[in-house]
Amino acid sequence: MPKPRLLIATHNQGKIREYKHLLAGIPFRLVGLDEVGIFHDVEETGDTFSENAILKAQAYSRESGLLTLADDSGLEVDALLGEPGVRSSRYAGPGAGDPERIAFLLQKLAQAESPVRTARFRCVIAIAQPAGETVTAEGTCEGVIADTPRGSGGFGYDPIFYLPDQGCTMAELSSEAKNQISHRARAVHRARDLLLAADRAGETP
Ligand code: ITT
């Protein structure tokens, strides 16, 4: 019997790479948005990671008719009162890439009143059934903002996210090592049971 499909609803190639590793062995065939002909973005109008993850999962699930996993994630920097948070991908304005966002954040942090450099990545996964319920799972990963970017692995803010326990930035870890400890890995760990329950419910086309 063919495996049911699970839509990994993101346009971020870094996230797609990680989900392919993190969900290896799951009883679903993972498909991307382009494979189901969805090329537009869902607007993220929520104030929390959870609201935005649910918004994305439900919209893409309705449109595709598939069981859908979406994540909203980002970096919370304590000295910036939790910024960039839900605005992590839009922080340095439209058209900016990862290096510009990193430079913008380091500049903001240099101007901050507090010298504290602690931060965390947060990831909320939402899993939506086309005509059913939506469930969420969350994971975080604590670290410190480095003075300068280091490493070429991962994506986004990884080059400035220093992990004291590992003695390197997230971008200096192998993808296997990042996938052991990341906020996304922790959220997936919790989401796995929810996906298996959705499979047992047999509601996927
Ligand atoms: P989709 O909405 O299509 O999934 P996106 O990149 O816009 O793609 P988000 O709105 O969730 O996704 O924004 C997440 C941003 O947070 C992302 O663009 C990175 O800048 C940052 N981010 C999230 N997870 C990260 C990680 O594992 N490592 C580094 N930066 C990360």
- Band (pLDDT 50/70/90 cuts) for residue 202 is low
Residues contacting ligand 1 via CB (< 6 Å) = 10-12, 15, 44, 71-75, 88-89, 121, 154-158, 182, 184
Q: What percent of the chain stands above pLDDT 90?
A: 93
Indicate which residue's Cα is closest to atom 1 of ligand 1.
Answer: 10
Ligand 1 pocket test, candidate residues 7, 12, 60, most atoms within 8 A of CB: 12
pLDDT over threshold 80, residue 204: no
Mean pLDDT score, 185-205? 82
> What are the distances in angstroms from CA 25 to CA 21, 30, 181?
9, 11, 19
Let me know: does 161 contact 140? Beta carbons within 8 Å.
no
Closest-lying ligand 1 atom to the alpha carbon of residue 89: 18
Question: Nearest-CA neighbor of 124 among 39, 15, 20?
Answer: 15
Average pLDDT of the chain, as a whole number:
95
Q: Whose CA is nearest to atom 13 of ligand 1?
A: 89
Local confidence band at 166 (pLDDT 50, 70, 90 cut-offs): very high
Reported confidence tier of residue 162, pLDDT bands at 50, 70, 90: very high
pTM for this prediction: 0.96
Taken in order of first residue, the domains within the chain and their CATH numbers are 5-200 (3.90.950.10)
